[in-house]
A and B are shown apart, each in its own frame.
Chain A
Amino acid sequence: MNDFNRNRAVDWALKLYVLLSFGFIFAPIVASFAFSFNVDRFPSLPLGGFSTIWYEAVWADPLVWEGLRNTLVAGAVVSAIATVIGFGAAYTDFRYNFFGKTVYVALALLPPTIPVVILGLAMLAFLSSIDLSGAIYSVIIAHVVMCAPFAMAICRLRLSQMDPSLEAAAWNLGATEWMAMRHVILPFCRPAILASLFITMAVSFDEFAVAWFVSGLNETLPVKVLGFLQGQVSPRINVIGTFVFLASMTLIILAQILLIKRSASPAAATNTGAVPQ
């Protein structure tokens, strides 16, 4: 850009504004971290003494452990199912053209645009009418619906970086479709598949609304947090929040590293050596 109309003061003001925006976004996250170590029950400034009593309280709470177990089971199963069907749908969109494809893709990608309360109510009513509500698998069923679109988007993005003729080359060299899938497509998509596993797991870890509707007595950890929120002030929310934040961030950073590393060197992904360049 040329220098006419450039004004250092305006530039700095804008940059300051960016910092302020990040301040607004990260203030609650940082505060929750800070107050989780605060000794006082009622949070205020200045901070009371440093303490881990709330961590001990959470550690000793069997309800939290039960919620955590449900969350982990749901997260693991959800990420596996969502990634498998998301990858299948991404590959379908990548390779095939058929009548009604727009409807297929729309149906696959639509769930995140429906408000969670509506989704929650619809799932609760439907699942309880076929006797599938109030259990951990109800949460799994609902979360797969919500997570599969993310898995599909991530895998589709990776597939769009692939030269379609790679697969055709494998067929010409005598590979069946399944062999080409196993030796060409899957190795190429591996970073996206792993990233999708991590990200769908993180989404499932944090989802509270639909889980609240359908889980019945088998509450996941975020649903327990919603319960704490309805009760009185409790620093335990900060502790659980900090824990869930660290877990989710680990998953996201792993996913990010996988995606950045692989897309920076696309050739590295075809490490089976099966594909002549």
Chain B
Amino acid sequence: MRKSITFYGLTLSLPMLVWQVLFFLAPLIFLVALSFWTVQNFRMVPDLNPDNWTRMLGRGVFWQAYFRTFLLSTSAAIVISVLAFPCAYAVAFKLSETARRWAIFLMVIPFFTSYLVRVYSWQIFLSDNGIINALLAKVGLGPFGMLNSVFGVMVGYATLSLPLVVLLQLFSLIFVDRTLIEAAHNLRCGRLRTVFEVVIPAAKVGLVIAALFCFILTFGDFVSPLYLGGGDPPTLSILITDTTKSGQQWPRAAVIALTMIATLLAVAFATVSFAYRERGR
């Protein structure tokens, strides 16, 4: 392969680099600068003032939102992973090749449907006189207040991330060495025990990464907490949209955004090192 820098090579490789540096990297770096700007007379003024940071990080509301968001996303990552696993397991091990292909195709479809429309649809299901309560009333139960609750938020989070979690789990389960499972069965290892002591350890990296993606997706989502969870108390992403849309307090929104990025990086780093730990043994 020729390696020298040519006009041909640059024409093909530079557009992506230029575009992402200009419109992806630069905005993120600008966000860091912006978090030190000040707002005077409703106008943003370039500055190097740590005031936004001390003010935001010194607020009870901010930390309340922070821990609420963190707790919600952690619970979502765990609950949705647990709910997704039997589905991914069944598709990987119990379905025929054709059925599996169809299942994967069907799981991809939700990525290309409007998340907003699906959330609106869940409002129809979950509201006090919605579909589920109407059905429950027929058997003499309810009504249950499902909208504007943590349950509502979780339904929304599952709508957002369940298909992705199932797919990621599925792709790691498909590559589990089947002879390992057969060996366990030949050694009279029970079904459940095989799942917990053979299948899950063998697919560990994929399962952990799936949970991580669930955390990342739900951590940044503002639609479910707002329209299914009621938005009160707010999550960090709701704080960002409120702070940005309600005027010129962009520097403070930038502080929230940067705190979120730092958290995501820390969580991603911790999770990935956990996923790959003990692999060298």
List residues of A whose CB falls within 8 A of some B CB.
1-2, 4-5, 7, 10-11, 14-15, 17-18, 21-22, 24-29, 31-32, 35, 42-45, 84-89, 91-92, 95-98, 104, 107-108, 110-111, 113-127, 129, 141-142, 144-145, 148, 152, 164, 177-178, 181, 199, 202-203, 206, 208-209, 213, 222, 225-226, 229, 237-238, 240-241, 244-245, 248-249, 251-252, 256
Interface size on B, residues (CB 8 A): 91
Q: Which residue of A lies closest to B264 (CB)?
A: A115
- Pairs A–B under 8 Å by Cβ, sample size 14: A27-B125, A28-B121, A31-B124, A92-B12, A92-B16, A96-B1, A98-B3, A118-B220, A121-B253, A125-B27, A148-B19, A225-B114, A241-B117, A252-B109
**Known: A18-B87, A115-B220. Is A31-B121 also a contact (CB below 8 A)?**
yes
Chain A proximity mask over B103-123: 1 for CB below 8 Å, otherwise 0: 101111110111111111110
Which residues of B are found within 8 Å of A241, using beta-carbon distances? 113-114, 116-118, 120-121
9-residue interface stretch from B49-57, B60-68, B126-134, B199-207: B126-134
Which residues of A are found within 8 Å of B112, using beta-carbon distances? 199, 202-203, 206, 248-249, 251-252
Residues of B124-165 at the interface with A, using a CB-CB cut-off of 8 Å, are 124-125, 129-131, 134-135, 158-159, 162-163
Contact A45 B134 (CB under 8 A): yes
Contact A108 B16 (CB under 8 A): yes
Which residues of A are found within 8 Å of B20, using beta-carbon distances? 107-108, 111, 145, 148
Contact A18 B90 (CB under 8 A): yes
**Known: A31-B131, A226-B116, A229-B119. Is A5-B190 also a contact (CB below 8 A)?**
yes
Q: Which residue of B lies closest to A234 (CB)?
A: B120
Contact B16 A89 (CB under 8 A): yes
Contact A229 B159 (CB under 8 A): no
Contact A107 B17 (CB under 8 A): yes
Q: Please measure, in the bound complex, the distance between the C-alpha atom of A158 and the C-alpha atom of B4, giving whole angstroms.
A: 25
Contact A245 B254 (CB under 8 A): no
Contact of B182 among A1, A98, A113, A225 (CB under 8 A): A1
Residues of B215-234 at the interface with A, using a CB-CB cut-off of 8 Å, are 216, 219-223, 227
B247 on the A face (CB < 8 A): no
**Known: A5-B185, A229-B120. Is A126-B131 also a contact (CB below 8 A)?**
no
B188 on the A face (CB < 8 A): yes
Which residues of A are found within 8 Å of B11, using beta-carbon distances? 88
Contact B16 A229 (CB under 8 A): no
Q: Which residue of B lies closest to A223 (CB)?
A: B116
**Known: A17-B90, A32-B118, A88-B15. Is A111-B3 also a contact (CB below 8 A)?**
no
Q: Please measure, in the bound complex, the distance between the C-alpha atom of A17 and the C-alpha atom of B94, giving whole angstroms.
A: 12
Q: Please measure, in the bound complex, the distance between the C-alpha atom of A113 and the C-alpha atom of B182, giving whole angstroms.
A: 38
Contact A222 B114 (CB under 8 A): yes
Q: Please measure, in the bound complex, the distance between the C-alpha atom of A49 and the C-alpha atom of B131, giving whole angstroms.
A: 16
Contact A2 B182 (CB under 8 A): yes
Contact B191 A240 (CB under 8 A): no
Contact A122 B188 (CB under 8 A): no
Which residues of A are found within 8 Å of B163, using beta-carbon distances? 25
Contact B30 A122 (CB under 8 A): yes
Shortest distance in angstroms between A175's beta carbon and chain B's nearest beta carbon? 12
Which residues of B are found within 8 Å of A237, using beta-carbon distances? 116-117, 120
Contact of A225 among B27, B91, B117 (CB under 8 A): B117
**Known: A17-B90, A225-B114, A245-B113. Is A178-B16 also a contact (CB below 8 A)?**
no
Which residues of A are found within 8 Å of B115, using beta-carbon distances? 206, 208
Which residues of A are found within 8 Å of B106, using beta-carbon distances? 22, 25-26
Shortest distance in angstroms between A11's beta carbon and chain B's nearest beta carbon? 6
Q: Which residue of A lies closest to B251 (CB)?
A: A125
Contact B237 A148 (CB under 8 A): no
Contact of B131 among A15, A45, A114 (CB under 8 A): A45
B31 on the A face (CB < 8 A): yes
